[in-house]
Structures are given as structure tokens and as C-alpha cells.
Structure 1
């Protein structure tokens, strides 16, 4: 029977869940995650990658739906794709920690496009978004870091399934139809990590492709198109094909549905770089503040990290010490430590062409090395430890067991609102900021339609 499969059980859960079933804190956090996502979309809207994406998609079609943070109007699938690119573009968007999935970057554009297409309300949009996060997170959790180890970007893989659930819910499909959307989207759920070799922009496409593919899968599911029944657990299902033989945990997908909300375990980023680098930024900044040291005092820095995370942010070491472009720098702990130690901060200002060429950052990055961390909590937390040797022979150390933004060390709602304000100041006036904030925080109260929300969040 359909419900006996994982896709079937997730389909039943999504079909039966109403916004009133979500705990108040989950609804409140969902609104703040949307606020964060829209803010990072705005601060990315004028970047070169956004301009090229607009050129590419504008050459395919025009007219249709509003796009987050832009004046463009595009067909639903392209609006979702561009929205995902903007949210994920600076790598400043949220991450579900245990799954290593950027959940909002696909769930929000997919839900927005599907909700507008179906004429849904803002509250229906918010519910579908929360369900999308829940499924994306659980798909990633079941792999326990295995997608990364096998060379797949979990956001592109897991995000497609969560987005399909969100889109199918909004399309009014029943449990069987929501299952079918997952069973169909599994054939397009992907995203490879090869961007790490040269800082390619392909990673920015992954959440948008997940959202766009989910809309396509939903349209096919609505016609009764048969999908692969055991898309998750089958002989050639997701985990058999995407983990390179590694084990996975089926229970993570369905245990505690509706009782344990993984949305609560979504971390909002304090820094615009790969989440694996954040605890290292905090560690070096904390050590400098505690010991009153500067870059001139430091002779050597050794970092302790889990091998899977190290493959993303430390290897190959010589390249990570000299990132080839700004996107490459976001996945370099040597660069991040160099920026923090030489400038005392890690903001978007540290990811500019001038910063990339800063000899002070290079000098520190050349001192950074790494080794395995036997005490890491990865992937449950992105731990970091640093051991610093000074020119005077002293050795100092600092450990961040849990990265800031983790559910054990969350950014407060006030922190998220301040981050939103800071990002919006880079791209929008006060009137626009106020309008967007009101639209987002009004979602939980069911204020207006999804189209009203989309228009309010566009330029």
C-alpha cells in the first residue's frame, strides 16, 4: 500500500496537517526564518550573479509572478529558481544543522510560487513552507552527513523532496498525490559538490533547481503520473544511489512526525560564509578578545575539524589559502580566519574583491593548517578548535563545541530582526524595509493572500 512507503507516510502527514496543528513557537520561528531569507535575498539582489541569473531567465520567458527582492515577473518555475539563487547567493541563509541542508532557500521559493499559482492565502503559504522544511531536514538527517561524503550537496538533493511536499500541498493534492510528487522529483534531486574545486557558481543554483523541479513534479503528480513508489528506500532509490554504500536511518524520515518539529533545529547564520567555518570565526575572535593578540603576534594556527567538513573548507589547503574568487573564499577557513584576525570581524565587507586581494588576510591564511578533531560533534554540531602559537613561543587554544546559530546556541528573534535590518539597509529604503517586515511577520496571522505577500516582498 502507498502509505506503507516512506513517501506515502510523508504524504499522509502533509495532507493531514493544518497550521493550527503547529506549536506556536514553530509558527513564530517559521516567520522569522522567512524574514531572514527575504533579507538575504535583498542584499544579494544587486550582485553580479543575480544580474546574470536575471539575464538567463529573462531570455527564456517574461511576465508572470513577482520575484523576491526584484521587480522582475517570471513564470512560476523560473520565479522559484531565481528566488532560490537570491536566498542562497551569499551563503548567508539558514541551515538545518543535523541535515546540513539550507532549508529555506528551496522551501520558500517553491511554496511562494505554488501558493500564488493556486491562489492560496498567506497562512497556507506559511504552513506549506514549514512542511517543506520538515521534509527536507528529515531527508538530510537520514543520511547523517553521507550526502556530503559522497559528493552531493544536500540542499539540492533533500530540498527537492521538501519543496515537492510544499508545492503538492498547495496544489490541493491528497496524500497519494503528495507522495507522487516526491516519487517523481526523486529523479531530478541532485547537486554535486564539484564547485568546491574552483568556486563555481553552480551551488547557487541548487536550491532554486530543487524548487523549480518540485513544481514540475507536482504538475505531473496532479495528472496521475506514476512515480517510483519506493523513491527513498528502493533498490535504486535515493539512499542506495546517493550515499556510495553508506548506511542511512529510515526512522529519521518518519519518527515523531507532528510531535518533533525539525524546523526548530534550523540555524540562522551570523556570518556570510559556509556554516562549517562559523565556529572557527567565533573561536579566533574570542581568542583575540581574551588574550588581546593581533595578527602580528601569531606565528602559526592549527585547526581541528571533522574530515567531512574539512573536505569542504580546508582541502586542498594551498587553494584554500588563496581562494580563486569570492565564492571560493566563503568555503575557506584559512581565509575566514585571516579576515577575522586581520580585521576583527566577518561581514559581507570581508567578501569583496579588495578583501580577496588583501595581503594581511593572505599573511594569516598562510599560517593556517588543520588536522582531524577526535572530539567533534559533527554533523550534530559544527565544532571547531584552534591552537595558536605566538612568535614569543606561547601557545593558546580555544574550542567552540557548538557553532553559534545552532539550536543549542540560537540567534534570538531580536538577533534575526537585526540581521534583517542590516541586510535590508544594503539594498532598500526604510519604507520598503517596513513593508517587507510587516508582510512577513503577518504570515502567521493569515494576513492577505500569497500574491499580496509576493508583491510586498518584491521591489
Structure 2
């Protein structure tokens, strides 16, 4: 079968031909700011318990010479990519391609960085690969139209593996057929199940890291000519047949308007450190409280309207969501988040601490929250939310956030993203470190002669 007759082949042909000069200015600038957000999140996660445990695990797997985002560690390329993905995604504060429900940068950036350093490439090559990884990851998720969640798969782990494979193959010097081959191989590694939602397990943090490492692995096998299934996407036992349990999918989403419609431009930066499905509710409640002047004690009942697919992640089962088992579980609980917003008047990383998790005032509000189906939701094109707040004085308040903040229709500005980066770095690093990292990321690809290794060193913690 000729490679370009398959979906993987067409994506491979596109990726092989893309040069830095082909990227619109808007794509380059957005990519730099998405990378700035991701690197800042890696830094503010680097000292967390999950990061310490991950570092312990990697010491059991061997040492290497690659720098790791936000850390002084040196690891083999695949492990550096995996640990970087864990850190970027660790707080669940990283970007999301809205329509695909994929945290794209968490696998795309670490995979591209590791592969670029390993291949001796420039920061310009790194930037191109990063953009391509986002493009492919987003399109793989977009084609499922929310179906991965419905069948219990985490789209970030599944779709991210394909984007990482394309980036690693491109940086490894593979041609169109080789980039197609990397996708064909990585299809057998694309994974990540949603069972973490049941008890707040840490496995979700592994998913983008595993996707990044799988991408590097698949590209290496493709480089030596290891055959993969040509119809990895569309085949009888391909990705969508096996992962969607018979649900419809859209093959055109993978290849339509390649090079003229860039999915990176519809990737949203998060304003809150919680599941993206909760953001509309946080904004609605904070806005109502600020405009109407009520306190948490004034709340009699809160009814939240949400699409059922999103509700399964952040509301079900509602009794348990009212008492999250740990901090990660709390990020997937709208009842908890409602309580945090109305008792603290904000939703920041400070609301996801052990003290906050045990706060009886937050629990009191969470106990008054329930949910219902929202027939007006735009999910998955936007993460719509509506709240009906009943107050003890008899008032009934309503607010709808039809399009979540951070969506392409309501994007965070570059100034907002830079401010978020500064706030995150201030938690863990001095001003000189923050400026070194900021300068390196926002000039990514500006000089064709700068090696990717220099960028990696600039974004690592000084040893």
C-alpha cells in the first residue's frame, strides 16, 4: 500500500515538508507562549511529592546525559521526555486543545526537546517539531469527537503518542514514509485509561510522559525499518475501531486543511489549576459572587448544568465528589471547586493543599451542589457551564459560561500567559532564573544556529 493513500501516510507527507518558513507568524508566537506556560508549570511542579517519586523511579532505570525541564537531573532521552511530561501535566494546569480534549504541550514539548537534543538539532527545528506534534495530537483527538472519554480512554495519552512520534521522526531525519511508519508503530503504544477518576490516582500524570517516550521509541524503530500496520488509524483493528467501541469518528479531521488551518491556534491556556471541564463553573460562581455580594454561608443550593460526558469526569458519583480523597481528586470535583471558589473568592494552587482539602467551610458548600444535563452545552467544541444559585434570602441567581475562558473564542492574552508564568516561577525560583527561562522560551527558534541543547540547559535547574 502506498503510504500517501493512508491517513498516516498523508500526515507523514505533510510533516516531512513543513519548514520553519512555512509557519505563520501567529503560529510561531502562539507556540512560544504555549511553551512558556508549559515550562513554567514544570518548574512549579518540580518539588511536589509526585515529582520526587517520579525522580526516584527514574533513578532505578539508569542515568543519562540529557537535561530535564525544571530539574538538575540528567537522564536518557526517553526518560527525560517522560519526566518532563509528568512535570508539565502534574498540576493539571497545562494547556488543552479544546475540541480534542487533549493536553497537547505536555507530550509535544518534552518529546520534541528530547528528540532535538538527541539528534543535534537547532531550536528552530525543535519549534517546528513542537508545532507538528501539537497539530497531529490535536487532530487525532479531534477525529474522535469526544469518543475517547466516552470509552474510558484519556485522549492526552492516546493522541499525544502520535504527535510525539511525528515530532521525533521529523527530528530524526526520517522522510514521509518514515514519519508515517513512526505513527504506525506508536499506535500499539497509545494508551491511558480514566480509572484514576475513581480514586485520584497519580496515573493520569504519567500519560503525557508515556506518550512522549513512546513517540521517541516508535521513531527509533521506524528509523531502522520496523514495519507497522499501514492503516493504524482507519483499519479494522486500527485506533478508532479499537478505542471508540463502534462510535463514529471523522477521518477528515486528521487531514483536512493541513498547513492552512493550525489547531495550535485553538489550544487554550488554563486560567485555573483544575480539570478544564470545571472552569466555566468556577468563573460563573466567582462572577456571581462578585456582582451580587453573597457569601458562602448565604448559599442554600447550587445546581450545575453540564454535558453528560464532562459530568462523568467532574460530578460522578456526586456523593464522593463532594469529599475528594486527595488533592488530584479535588481537581476533578466541581462540588469541591464550587466550595473553594465561594469560601476563598478565588481558585489557585493554594486551594489545592491538604489544609484546603480538609476545610469544613468548603465541605459545607460542596454538600449543597448537584448537577443536571445541559441541553444547550457546546461540548466538546467548548466546555459550557451554567449555574443556578439559590440563596437563603430567597434570591435565585443564574449565570451561563457558554464558552470557557482560555478557548480560542475567549483566549488568554500573551500578557495573561506571561503573568501566569511569572506567578508560577515565583513559587519556586528567583527572578534571575525566571528571566533566563522566559528569555530562552520566547526566543525559541529565532536564531537558526542555536542548538536545542542550549534551550534544554536554559530550561533546566542549575545543578
SS in structure 1 of the partner of residue 72 of structure 2: coil
Comparing 290-299 and 194-203, the one that deviates more: 290-299
Distance 2:437 2:274 in 1: 25
Partner of 2:263: 262
Out of 451, 455, 458, the residue aligned to residue 457 of structure 2 is: 455
SS in structure 1 of the partner of residue 114 of structure 2: helix
Q: CA deviation at 1:64?
A: 1.5
Q: Does residue 157 of the first structure (1) align with residue 167 of the second (2)?
A: no
Q: CA deviation at 1:279?
A: 0.5
Contact 1:28 1:444 in 2 (8 A): no
Gaps in structure 1 of 5+ consecutive residues: none
Q: CA deviation at 1:452?
A: 0.2
SS in structure 1 of the partner of residue 304 of structure 2: strand
* 1:327-368 Cα shifts (integer Å, max 9, x gaps): 000000001110000000000000000000000100000000
* 1:238-266 Cα shifts (integer Å, max 9, x gaps): 00000011000000000000000000000
Partner of 1:280: 281
Partner of 2:47: 46
Q: Does residue 352 of the first structure (1) align with residue 348 of the second (2)?
A: no
* 1:213-259 Cα shifts (integer Å, max 9, x gaps): 11010000000100010000000000000001100000000000000
Partner of 2:5: 4
Q: CA deviation at 1:394?
A: 1.6
Q: Does residue 425 of the first structure (1) align with residue 426 of the second (2)?
A: yes
Distance 2:3 2:22 in 1: 24
Distance 1:396 1:434 in 2: 44
Partner of 2:186: 185
Partner of 2:335: 334
Contact 1:148 1:154 in 2 (8 A): yes
* 1:157-214 Cα shifts (integer Å, max 9, x gaps): 0000000000000000000000000000000101000000000000000000000011
Contact 2:267 2:408 in 1 (8 A): yes
Partner of 1:383: 384
Q: CA deviation at 1:444?
A: 3.3
**Where do 4+ consecutive residues of structure 1 move more than 2 Å?**
none
Q: CA RMSD in A?
A: 0.6
Distance 2:370 2:316 in 1: 10
Partner of 1:91: 92
Distance 1:139 1:253 in 2: 6
* 1:296-354 Cα shifts (integer Å, max 9, x gaps): 11100000000000000000101100000000000000011100000000000000000
Gaps in structure 2 of 5+ consecutive residues: none
Partner of 1:116: 117
- Structure-to-structure mapping, 1:194-273, within 5 angstroms: 194-273=195-274
Distance 1:40 1:437 in 2: 12
SS in structure 1 of the partner of residue 445 of structure 2: helix
Partner of 1:290: 291
SS in structure 2 of the partner of residue 444 of structure 1: coil
Distance 2:432 2:289 in 1: 39
Partner of 1:79: 80
Q: CA deviation at 1:63?
A: 2.6
Distance 1:183 1:64 in 2: 29
The count of residues paired between Structure 1 and Structure 2 equals 459
Partner of 1:32: 33
Q: CA deviation at 1:25?
A: 0.5
Contact 2:322 2:336 in 1 (8 A): yes
